[in-house]
Structure formats: structure tokens, C-alpha cells
Amino acid sequence: MIIRKQIVLLFLFITCSLLGAQTLAQEPNDSEGEIRFISDDLFTYLHAGPGRNFRILGSVVAGTRVTLLQEDTEKNFVEIIDDKQRTGWVDADFISVSSSVRELVPGLQQQVQSAEQTIQQQRQSNDLLNQQIADLTSQNSNLKKKLSEAEKENLTITQTLADYDQTAQMEWFTRGGIVAVISLLLGIVLTYLPKKRRRNDNWM
């Protein structure tokens, strides 16, 4: 009796193992079909067969990456494998070749982050250039100030030299005038000085 039960249990175990192996062998995988995407609706139902009258196996969220296995053009349904490895049929109108918004958003976010980093680097570069421009402007202003001071100093020196030349000329004119006056006075004095008379020797 016990042996008979063990034989029955062994037979049932072998039968279940064979059925499981056959099911696994018949179940398709992602590598057997083409990549498609559920279009950007809220969700679509996954049916057990190509039509809405077949049992609903679940729902597939919009934007989900699926694998296309086959297409029933007459009923406009396609067989897919979804992201949960479920095999079923969905309306072909909900299948898209291009990536959905759900798939594109991470890539767009990465592009935005990259663009923000580039903008930040450009801002830092612009800030550095603006600082360099400000430094050069300050240096140029200082040089202009020094040049203006040098020009003023040069003008002062030129004016001083002109005043000195004019003073020197006045001194020369004054000295020349004094010498002339003295010479004139000496001439007048010498003119009025008594002259010695010559002795006349008369021979008798």
C-alpha cells in the first residue's frame, strides 16, 4: 500500500516536471522578437489571445519596453513579452517603434544636466574673463593717471625752464644796461676832466 502511494507520487512528480519543462521550452524570450514600446496612453490590457474577447492577463503601463513576437494583421493584435516576462496579446494601435516619453525622459534629463554643466563652465569662464577685463581696465586707468601726472610734471618743468630763461635774459639785459650806463658815465667824466697843457718851448 505504501509502495503504491510512493509510485503514484513519483509518477505525478515526473509528469509535473515534464509539463513544466515543456512550458519553459515553449515560452518565448526577449531575444526571439523585435523591440517595441507601448505608446503613451495610461495603460493597455494584455490578453491571452488576439482579441478583446480573450481573457485579460493584466495590464501594461504606457512607455514599457516590450518584445514583439508576432502580429495578427486581420484582428490588429500583436503578441508581445512585457517587462515582467509575461506573454500575451495587445492592440497593435498601442505599439510604437520609437521610444516613448517614459524611455526618453532619462536621456533628456541627462542632456539637461550636461547642458547645465556646460552653461556653468561657460559662466565660470565668463566670470574669469570679466575679472581679467576689470583688472586690465584698472591697470589702464592707473597708467592713464600716471601719464597725466607725468604730463603735468613735464609742463611744470617746461614752465620753470621758460621762467628761468626769461629771468636769465632779464639779468643779462640788466647787467648790460648797468655796464652801458657806467661806460657812459665814465665817458662823460673823462670828457670833463682837465687836460694837461703842453709846454711850448719858444727859442728866442
The whole-number pLDDT of residue 201 equals 54
What's the rounded Cα separation, in Å, for the pair 121 and 104? 26
- Measure the N-to-C terminal CA separation of the chain; round to a whole number of Å: 218
What's the rounded Cα separation, in Å, for the pair 123 and 127? 6
Give the rounded distance of the alpha carbon of 177 from its chain centre.
83
pLDDT > 90: percent of the chain: 15
Whether the predicted pLDDT of 83 surpasses 90: no
What's the rounded Cα separation, in Å, for the pair 181 and 187? 10
Whether the predicted pLDDT of 21 surpasses 50: no
- Dihedral of CA atoms 69, 34, 75, 92 in degrees, nearest 10, equals 130
Give the rounded distance of the alpha carbon of 184 from its chain centre.
93
The string of pLDDT tens digits covering residues 25-75 is 344 455 567 776 655 556 788 899 999 899 999 988 877 888 999 999 899
Cross-strand pairs, 65: 37
SS3 (DSSP) at 68: strand
Using pLDDT thresholds of 50, 70 and 90, give the confidence band for residue 7: low
Q: Is the whole model's pTM more than 0.85, yes or no? A: no
